[in-house]
Chain A
């Protein structure tokens, strides 16, 4: 392997004797680059499969490859595997160069890389097996969560260590974005994933109901903010000037962009829970801060686009700049739409519909996807020390992917608005115009097929991208040239520079304060900077979280609400395992079109024993909050066996495994015990949960036998799930446990109109 040497031209002669030699670790960047491409392909392929499953339900192959199990795999793969590895690619490349230092430890870099890939493989294995905590983007079970925390800390040490040993006085703004992301993601991950294990791959959140929902969307929104936004902004502030060959339009604006995002983003999470049982004040705060986010987000987008000032002619010829322009445009579109969707009246239409899915994908496919493509196309010739294999192929990728994005988002926006309007439509007599939920789903199928076409185009673009990069890699030299850089080490003492030529910083404390020299010091001190960022994020979080947890009136209890029976708890765990929450909400909003369709709106006190909460965020199927007693046990059995047997237009997967698989009664005790540890008043179930579960299962089994379902279901998993279904929403109606699921119970409610026996 050959080496080239270069000495910084700006090094002062007096300091030349103290020059330090070093080289950048590009091998780790190459590893992350390949991982980005591999997991990008895998994650998007799974996305295409779940898109097809919605249009053509026969593609669901129970138990491992159903929509409910694959959808979290898709989201985790594209967020943490594709975008995650892309972030690390860019961070490892740019941090070393911005700090004029090699990464703090090659060993930590390697541990970070292999640890992260191990986590991804663990996710790919456990999610299809049904091991899930069910909270969106935080589905992975507790052993993997611990691995994530360990690997993230390794990354943080390596990153902050590099900042400490840097040779550049000022920390460039991209490094601020990276640092904020590292700190905040650690905070979010740890607090949202606090659970009590109930088995090797089973746990219950320590939070319940409304409080759990609050924690989840504090996490969920900020996972988007601090995983898909701020680190990518850091990448943009580094790679956009590189690609445009000029400095960022306004460095001032980039600083403003940073602090306003860090301070504001963390408050916005409650807008995911509008009209739910979350306190109104919390959702209002979330909405206000979301709307305020318009300004910094657009400031950042404009700052990025204006970096091309004077060089717009290059965009026509350079596909890398084309990718970047579309990425920034996508950032602008989605950060305009996000605040708009957070406005309560708009949200009442969009929430639970495909509009949210379109919003997420308009940002992810362009901002995250296109920026990643641009960055890797720019990096590949430098990392592989050869020319890019084909600029023409890169251009083809750009156009195929752009058309794919347009088809995807236009069809899914249409689907979202269509479904939202159909849900709220009343006829001239004041009744719901589309009372049968499945009508509102069937109307979307053509749009789902258009999405499949769009997704196929986007994935085709990724295949071209992978081919182009691999062919470039194949043209690499026999040995990489490792440049040796020389630069002086930073001196420990630093004399503040004059504010203007000839005017020194005032010596007095007040003089230093009004001249804001403290901010300049922060910018040079990575550890202090980390602490301040943490404080900004933590204060905002505590302002929202503490009242929700500690003010009794926010979650008024309801005397009639009791814990689930052991069998119902086992059924709830099956509901979680199968990912039913990906399609069914359990949260009726206090809106007329909701209460007309589903019944009484949901109360905060109804979910006080819900570890974790199951409010859901999307309705591909109807809300189930008041499902109990609406249909017979036999209907549920037939429905799980083959949904299209009872509803021809249903797109729900068939769950034959629930009919054939035996329920593990013995494991119920441990689950009940953990729930009791969390404060759920289980009483007599502590010590005899399996016995109680068997007694209730025998009743349901007998009912199924008598009504024509056949014998032998009392030992099957489906019985537990039926018990859970029949319990939903019953506590506040005074008819708990009806429909022959409990000893002596009788049906107290007539099935809903149109419901089949």
Chain B
């Protein structure tokens, strides 16, 4: 059976809905991560990166 025949017989009527659900799952995951309050300080520091051309904001490992 060729790939074309396989795909033709796969009955992919719900394709649009599957893609939408996939997107929503990924979106929810990112939302959860981005708006978690535990990362507030990191984001504040990251946001200042363009303002300093010379000094790294997160230069080395912790404790050095």
Contact = CB atoms under 8 A, between A and B. Distances in A.
Give the contact-size bracket for chain B.
35 or more
Nearest to B23: A263
A241 interface: yes
A547 interface: yes
A12 B60 CA distance: 10
Given A550-B3, A551-B8, A485 B30 contact: no
Contacts of B38: 499-500, 515
A292 to B, nearest CB: 8
A264 interface: yes
B64 A550 contact: no
Contact of B63 (A284, A495, A543): A495
Nearest to B2: A550
A10 B55 contact: yes
B31 interface: yes
A9 B29 CA distance: 38
Given A238-B50, A242-B50, A497-B62, A256 B31 contact: yes
B15 A547 contact: yes
A259 B30 contact: yes
Contacts of B3: 550
A511 interface: no
A543 B50 contact: no
A485 B53 CA distance: 9
Contacts of A267: 19
A343 interface: no
A487 B34 contact: no
Contacts, number: 155
Interface string A474-495: 0000000001010110110111
A100 B54 contact: yes
Given A98-B50, A552-B8, A170 B58 contact: yes
A167 B59 contact: yes
Contacts of B59: 8, 10-11, 15, 100, 167-169, 487-488, 490
A661 B27 CA distance: 59
A553 B49 CA distance: 53
A336 to B, nearest CB: 20
A248 B44 CA distance: 9
A170 B7 contact: no
Nearest to A516: B33
Interface of B: 3-8, 10, 12-13, 15-16, 19-20, 22-23, 26-27, 29-36, 38-39, 42-44, 46-51, 53-64
Smallest CB-CB A-B distances: 10 pairs: A169-B58, A550-B7, A247-B47, A251-B47, A8-B55, A516-B33, A251-B43, A499-B38, A172-B49, A97-B53
Interface of A: 6, 8-12, 14-15, 24, 94, 97-98, 100, 167-170, 172-174, 237-239, 241-242, 245-248, 251-252, 255-256, 259-260, 263-264, 267, 281, 284-285, 288-289, 292, 483, 485, 487-488, 490-491, 493-497, 499-500, 515-516, 519-520, 536, 539-540, 543, 546-547, 550-553
5 contacts: A263-B26, A483-B54, A485-B53, A487-B55, A536-B26
